[in-house]
Amino acid sequence: MALRGCGERNTPSWLCLLLLLAGCLGFYRVISPKAQVLKPTRTDVLVMTPWLAPIIWDGTFDSTILDAQFRTTTIGLTVFAIKKYVVFLELFLRTAEQHFMVGHKVNYYIFTDRLADVPSVPLQEGRQLVVLEVRNYTRWQDISMHRMEMISNFSERRFLHEVDYLVCADVDMKFSDHVGVEILSSLFGTLHPGFYSAQRQAFTYERRPQSQAYIPRDEGDFYYAGGFFGGSVLEVHRLTKACHQAMMADQANHIEAVWHDESHLNKYLLYHKPTKVLSPEYMWDEQLLGRPPIMKRLRYVAVPKNHQAIRNR
């Protein structure tokens, strides 16, 4: 910040002194440790894809720099709470207020068929909640898959005019550590916690050539999670539209991909390489996977759910 105007009359001298002092102390400058070319930030994990997209792990980024870069950015967080899944909203939103894009402008887009069950959670300044009424489906698989269609439709109608980036998340989760602008990029996906160390042959891609989601056994970079992806509104619109169209084609051919929308997401991201990849810090299940030493932080984690009691209800 420049001290323009301090030489003019009417500016109290104590204010000039205060501003000068603040400037000297570095309040208006972004001060951060220098990166060290000969000292890699992480040596235990891959931090760059072969197409040179960063893989986001703790220790590889400096939030001070990134927060300044994304200072004027607005982020949309889409989440579906259809039928019984409204019970997850409160914890999801409360923890998002503590950890998700803190200090940035955020629009929560809640897609639901149960308007009356959306909890009122106090929000920080610059953050708002938008409830979007949508239809439900009988099968949980259809609810999960039709998220692509609904995100695609609302991207054209609203999101393009309202936010810069979209983050598309499952609701049966909570934030438990910092999730900030380090994730933002044109197109990003998250390494599925169950498969980050697996061979490509072991990925649960759709293997039947009759499906639009088919991936041959000798292809595949990573297995991405269906519950956390995003990018610029333009790219998310492209992705969700393509996945929805592929699912419609499958339906016409009486085939349903093995992991539903996640299978189609994986097909899309194989042929449209993401510009950032999030480590499993951004999608973890401690009950199932414990806590290996590479996981320095657990940022977005599964909330235990009783599948029988909650699905198809």
Active centre residues (catalytic): 262
Query: Which 3 state secondary structure label does DSSP give 126?
Result: coil
Query: Which 3 state secondary structure label does DSSP give 54?
Result: strand
Task: Please identify, using beta-carbon distances, which residue of 83 and 237 lies nearer to ligand UDP.
Answer: 83
Tell me how far apart the alpha carbons of residues 240 and 245 are, in angstroms, rounded to a whole number: 9
Does 148 participate in binding ligand UDP (rule CB under 6 A)? Answer: no
Question: In the chain, where do the E strands start and end?
Answer: 55-56, 74-81, 105-112, 127-133, 165-169, 173-175, 187-190, 228-232, 276-278, 300-302
Does 170 participate in binding ligand UDP (rule CB under 6 A)? Answer: yes
Tell me how far apart the alpha carbons of residues 23 and 6 are, in angstroms, rounded to a whole number: 13
Partner whose binding site includes residue 80, from ligand UDP, Mn ion, none (CB under 5 to 8 Å by kind): ligand UDP
Partner whose binding site includes residue 184, from Mn ion, ligand UDP, none (CB under 5 to 8 Å by kind): none
Does 109 participate in binding ligand UDP (rule CB under 6 A)? Answer: no
Instruction: Mark 111-140 with x for binding to ligand UDP (rule: CB under 6 A) and - for no binding.
Output: -----------------------------x
Does 285 participate in binding Mn ion (rule CB under 5 A)? Answer: no
Tell me how far apart the alpha carbons of residues 61 and 66 are, in angstroms, rounded to a whole number: 8
Q: Are 227 and 174 in contact (CB under 8 A)?
A: no
Does 80 participate in binding ligand UDP (rule CB under 6 A)? Answer: yes
CB within 8 Å of 222: residues ≥ 6 apart = 189, 191, 192, 195, 196, 269, 277
Partner whose binding site includes residue 143, from Mn ion, ligand UDP, none (CB under 5 to 8 Å by kind): ligand UDP
Instruction: Mark 166-205 with x for binding to Mn ion (rule: CB under 5 A) and - for no binding.
Output: ----x-x---------------------------------
How many C-beta atoms lie closer than 10 Å to residue 28's C-beta?
A: 12
What are 244's two structure tokens? Answer: 């929805």
Alpha helix stretches (DSSP H) within the chain: 13-24, 63-69, 89-99, 140-154, 160-162, 233-252, 261-271, 286-289, 307-310
Give me the least distance between CB of 5 and ligand UDP, in Å please.
52
Task: Please identify, using beta-carbon distances, which residue of 182 and 256 lies nearer to ligand UDP.
Answer: 256
Does 143 participate in binding ligand UDP (rule CB under 6 A)? Answer: yes
Of 227, 230, 231, 274, the one binding ligand UDP by CB under 6 A: 227
Task: Please identify, using beta-carbon distances, which residue of 70 and 109 lies nearer to ligand UDP.
Answer: 109
Task: Please identify, using beta-carbon distances, which residue of 86 and 233 lies nearer to ligand UDP.
Answer: 86
Does 172 participate in binding ligand UDP (rule CB under 6 A)? Answer: yes
Does 83 participate in binding ligand UDP (rule CB under 6 A)? Answer: yes
Query: Which 3 state secondary structure label does DSSP give 44?
Result: coil
Q: Are 285 and 193 in contact (CB under 8 A)?
A: yes
Give me the least distance between CB of 305 and Mn ion, in Å please.
8
Does 90 participate in binding Mn ion (rule CB under 5 A)? Answer: no
* Locus of tokens 């169950």: 194
Q: Which residues bind Mn ion (CB under 5 A)?
A: 170, 172, 227
Q: Which residues bind to ligand UDP, rule: CB under 6 A?
A: 80-83, 85, 140, 143-144, 170-172, 227, 311
